[in-house]
Amino acid sequence: MSEITEKKTILSGIQPSGDLTLGSYLGAIKNWVELSEEYNCFYCIVDMHSITVRQNPAELRKRTLAQLAQYIASGLDPEKNTIFIQSHVSAHAELSWVLSCYTMFGELSRMTQFKDKSAKNADNINAGLFTYPSLMAADILLYQADLVPVGGDQKQHVELTRDIANRFNGIYGDVFTVPEPFIPKVGARIMSLTTPENKMSKSDKDPGGCIYIMQKPEEIMRSFKRAVTDSETCVRYDPENKPGISNLMSIYSVAAGKTFEEIENEFAGKGYGDFKVRVGESVVEMLRPIREESERILKDKAYVEQVYREGAARASYVANKTLRKVYKKVGFVAK
Ligand code: TYM
């Protein structure tokens, strides 16, 4: 136990609003696994965030459990990491309310994810979509996280979390640890394979643009073979002028553990066809064990249930300690 408390803390989460994508795997989960030995880690499935966009209830439940199995199959040992479902720890909703009173309307209005999602869901611009970052700040601050490993698109939310924590600490003393984002150098922004100027996203309307970690190898290969490139025939990293090739190079770099220079040398004088096949194969090789292990874990319902129950108990213990401190600071009468 003393070993755990001496380690620094990590918290991160992914919405179960769609199947897990290669973008989330390379931008977030892969780093969660790499950091998990060194840190005291809390990894959640943020189901409460996902209802800011309308969900099919049965599918949401199914995807939440599948995502839990995929976290474990990716290499997160539930004995060493606290893996839990956000809605099982009520402190998230409670702290979110308090923090929303310390988050400014102007700050929330500037959030890129809010602007994007309001444009995509013009008939459902609900209050939760707007105050989403206060809930995300609660997720992070409840655990006094030092580090938040995320893809580049979440940097703005982590920065707002820092501002909220500093504002609160400025009024009430040192209540919250001010977290740092951890964004990978390569893989922070994986782009769509068909429209490489857009982020690879689980809500992508074009099925060929997005790779899912549970997808069959032949489907993955088909999408890579069809990936949009350019009219040159040179494998060279230049995201501005060659977004498609540069995206494939980023994917290959992380999947195969190679530098951009090594990749450029490997494919010097070869056509894009060979390159796309090799990138596809490296992704298939990387994802195969995760898919097979997830399928095996998901069949063991009792084990899955045990993991999320124990995870929620461990997370609640830590989260409630912070919540009690916050309630006392703001002037609520203790129970
Ligand atoms: P979400 O669910 O959209 O994405 C989950 C994680 O995957 C990263 N990611 C990507 N990285 C690289 N390239 C991509 N194409 C790509 N797509 C997604 C995201 O940056 C993220 O790290 N608000 C968060 C979820 C959240 C959270 C938290 C994260 C809620 N509470 C607390 C950290 C800490 C979100 O919508 O991520």
Q: Ligand 1 mean position to 173 CA, how many Å?
A: 30
The distance from CA 145 to its chain's CA centroid, rounded to whole angstroms, is 15
Residues 236 and 103 in one domain: no
User: What backbone phi and psi angles, to 5 degrees, belong to 14?
Assistant: -135, 140
Indicate if ligand 1 lies below 6 Å from the C-beta of 52.
Answer: no
Are residues 22 and 212 in contact, defined by beta-carbon separation less than 8 angstroms? Answer: yes
Summarize the confidence of residues 27-41 as an average pLDDT: 95
CA atoms within 13 A on the CB side of 122: 1
Catalytic residue among 8, 155, 202, 325: 202
What digits encode the pLDDT tens for the residues 84-136? 999 999 999 999 999 999 999 999 999 999 999 999 889 999 999 999 999 99
What digits encode the pLDDT tens for the residues 44-67? 999 999 999 999 999 999 999 999
> Atom 24 in ligand 1: which residue has the minimum CA distance?
14
At 222, the amino acid letter reads: R
Residues 109 and 49 in one domain: yes
| Structural domain includes residue 180 | yes
| Structural domain includes residue 197 | no
Domain harbouring 88, CATH code: 3.40.50.620
| Structural domain includes residue 111 | yes
What digits encode the pLDDT tens for the residues 4-21? 458 999 999 999 999 999
At 304, the amino acid letter reads: V
Indicate if ligand 1 lies below 6 Å from the C-beta of 189.
Answer: yes
Residues 62 and 84 in one domain: yes
Cα 277 to Cα 195, 250, 274, 280, 286, distances in angstroms: 19, 15, 5, 5, 14
Any idea how long the chain is?
Answer: 335
Residues 156 and 247 in one domain: no
Percent of residues, the chain, with pLDDT higher than 90: 95
259: domain range? 207-294
* Confidence (pLDDT) at 205: 77
Whether 270 is catalytic: no
Indicate if ligand 1 lies below 6 Å from the C-beta of 49.
Answer: yes
Q: How many domains does the chain have?
A: 2
Burial, 330: exposed, middle or buried (Cβ in 10 Å; 0-12, 13-18, 19+)? middle
Question: Kind and range of the H or E element at 289?
Answer: helix 272-299
Residues 166 and 43 in one domain: yes
Residues 159 and 215 in one domain: no
Tokens of 52: 């800011």
* Confidence (pLDDT) at 153: 96
Cα 154 to Cα 32, 181, 182, distances in angstroms: 15, 9, 10
Are residues 22 and 36 in contact, defined by beta-carbon separation less than 8 angstroms? Answer: no
> Atom 14 in ligand 1: which residue has the minimum CA distance?
23
User: What backbone phi and psi angles, to 5 degrees, belong to 149?
Assistant: -80, 115
Report which of residues 151 and 2 the model is more confident about. 151
Summarize the confidence of residues 187-208 as an average pLDDT: 91
Which residue bears the tokens 């008939």? 123
Whether 199 is catalytic: yes
Residues 40 and 176 in one domain: yes
Summarize the confidence of residues 209-220 as an average pLDDT: 97
C-alpha to C-alpha distance for 10 and 207, rounded to whole angstroms: 33
Domain harbouring 251, CATH code: 1.10.240.10
Whether 202 is catalytic: yes
C-alpha to C-alpha distance for 146 and 8, rounded to whole angstroms: 6
Residues 18 and 165 in one domain: yes
| Structural domain includes residue 89 | yes
Summarize the confidence of residues 73-88 as an average pLDDT: 97
C-alpha to C-alpha distance for 85 and 46, rounded to whole angstroms: 6
Closest listed residue to residue 197, CA positions, set 131, 241, 147, 261: 241
Least confident of 1-5, 117-121, 304-308, 322-326: 1-5
**DSSP readout, 234-263?**
-----TTT-HHHHHHHHHHHHHHT--HHHH
Which string of b and e fits 300-312 if b means at least 16 CB within 10 Å? Answer: eeeebeebbeebb
